[in-house]
A and B are shown apart, each in its own frame.
Chain A
């Protein structure tokens, strides 16, 4: 924590709190129109919704090191990385509400957020991010630039072929890629221990001759520190790194997931590992911030979330015929 300035620490706190407030707000709006009988197609946010509450530190600790020209390729659960990468929150929210003012005018939706200005994208297909990030790394190298790319995947995605193929390729060609595995311990209902014999996916880095670190995502500063090394190494053209962040899934795989497969104690012990609570305590204990400073930040964030939600709610839907547009570009 020593080397971080107060404004940087408060900025991290702010972003984590923004992510949490945003996710919990969407999580409650999601059920509007879906009760008493849950209907996935109804309400202002239809379809699947995968929220990232509890996983904030992975996104914030990593993205603090990124510049606008650096890229992040996310997963189906990507709001936290989008927010940490400073994707326009109004447009992102409008997209999730299926509105004309959204990032993609309602065509993409929550799992398919694209913001080329902020170099952010994500996908609904598990393991899709890794090879795409390799391509961004190739572009950076071929263009003689020093921008880097973060490929995000869950611990479940580390059992995909794309993960291993991409690690090998990025290592072979010394590409500026930071592979971030968010280990929330559950691939929907399948526990990590039932899907791989290794306790830590970060150990797989050895097989490809690159650094691999495991870090606890309750501590955003810890994530920040390991990410710093990985990003600097990538920027120096020394090649990729693999970071596995142990994160804690506070909600279901998707909203409406009854989580019958998950022991109650697991959910409770996860919630006890709250990275926001930890940072808050650390900041106060070390005399870096006061209660009222943090309270002000929280108030500001809550206002911001209110604003973006209001913007999304009040925005118009696209015209139905727009469904047929933009399959191809002009030529």
Chain B
């Protein structure tokens, strides 16, 4: 997925000179997770700016640059690190368009790595996209494969709103971190868009709808495959975007299947899983069994492998939950 992301940025930069990239280790290193690999060599240090560890400054600077017609892309290595620059994001970048009554646009893409599963513990393994989705004014995209990664990056850059672009470390295809084979799909060479706000039904089924995003999409697909052998037909929706949420795709599917399971690597409370179950409830859909969710429980990410494995949502939890719906 990392090559798809850097290719998308490069193609857009060739087209539009107002695009530039800032962040830590994004130049010479090519991004710790490769998302900006090769860009410094192609575009030089004026447009690919390695920054000091001064996040409030360079993320706030994205706002200033955007206000004067630039289209900055900013990377901050891990989502866990955002606390230090949050004011510039949730009080400013997210709100300037609204507070200026639409007179000032904020075409900013903020990219970061999410996710655990490799014992990087409590400050380097979180997802936290729910935190950003909670704040009005930020679009939130979370691709799960290389095709979507490229198309969503291009759409994000072209969007006149601030977009939080999250990539899961365990999907990047880095070589030094396990990544499901399915995440590396063919990517067309030419630029293309994947629309922001459009979910993808990645497996059709009729008995139960599983809504997922990012890496747990694969856990859901693997569970669906196993349950299929037992005669259960599972539909899997990859949301791809959290804000704006593709309500129609979710409602249409659940209307058909009458059962809902939400799988999420982000924390349980006040987040994506609750949001989707609320959506279904508010729309008065009649279900054959209560909706269920398998989110990350409300605990920080533990370090020890045995502990982390216990709390991460996986295929086994999904199969168990779906069977419960039918028992």
Binding site for B on A (CB under 8 A): 37-41, 46-48, 95, 98-99, 102, 104-112, 123-127, 156-157, 159-162, 187-190, 194-196, 256, 260-261, 317-324, 327
Q: Which residue of A lies closest to B57 (CB)?
A: A161
B residues near A37, Cβ cutoff 8 Å = 175
Complex CA distance for A324 and B307, rounded to whole angstroms: 9
| Inter-subunit contact A318/B307 (CB<8 Å) | yes
Closest-CB distance, B22 to chain A (whole angstroms): 12
B residues near A126, Cβ cutoff 8 Å = 53, 81
Complex CA distance for A261 and B306, rounded to whole angstroms: 35
Complex CA distance for A89 and B302, rounded to whole angstroms: 21
A residues near B55, Cβ cutoff 8 Å = 160
A residues near B117, Cβ cutoff 8 Å = 41
Complex CA distance for A322 and B124, rounded to whole angstroms: 20
Q: Annotate B288-327 by CB proximity to A: 1 below 8 A, 0 otherwise.
A: 0000000001111011111111110000000000000000
Q: Which residue of B lies closest to A96 (CB)?
A: B303
CB-contact partner of B298 in A106, A107, A322, A327, under 8 A: A327
B92-132 with Cβ < 8 A to chain A: 117-124
| Inter-subunit contact B304/A112 (CB<8 Å) | no
Q: Given A38-B176, A125-B83, is A195 in contact with B52 using a C-beta cutoff of 8 Å? A: yes
CB-contact partner of A107 in B27, B124, B307, under 8 A: B307
The 5 closest A-B pairs by CB, nearest first: A109-B303, A106-B304, A98-B304, A41-B118, A46-B119
CB-contact partner of B119 in A47, A189, A323, under 8 A: A47
The interface size bin for chain B is: 35 or more
A residues near B83, Cβ cutoff 8 Å = 125
Closest-CB distance, A211 to chain B (whole angstroms): 24
Closest-CB distance, A60 to chain B (whole angstroms): 26
| Inter-subunit contact A106/B32 (CB<8 Å) | no
| Inter-subunit contact A112/B303 (CB<8 Å) | yes
Closest-CB distance, A221 to chain B (whole angstroms): 31
CB-contact partner of A189 in B28, B118, B178, under 8 A: B28
| Inter-subunit contact A160/B84 (CB<8 Å) | yes
What are 5 inter-chain pairs, A to B, with CB distance below 8 A?
Answer: A40-B176, A107-B303, A159-B54, A187-B53, A188-B32
Complex CA distance for A208 and B119, rounded to whole angstroms: 40
B residues near A318, Cβ cutoff 8 Å = 304, 306-307
Closest-CB distance, B172 to chain A (whole angstroms): 12
A residues near B51, Cβ cutoff 8 Å = 190, 195
B residues near A38, Cβ cutoff 8 Å = 175-176
Closest-CB distance, B10 to chain A (whole angstroms): 20
| Inter-subunit contact A112/B122 (CB<8 Å) | yes
| Inter-subunit contact B310/A321 (CB<8 Å) | yes
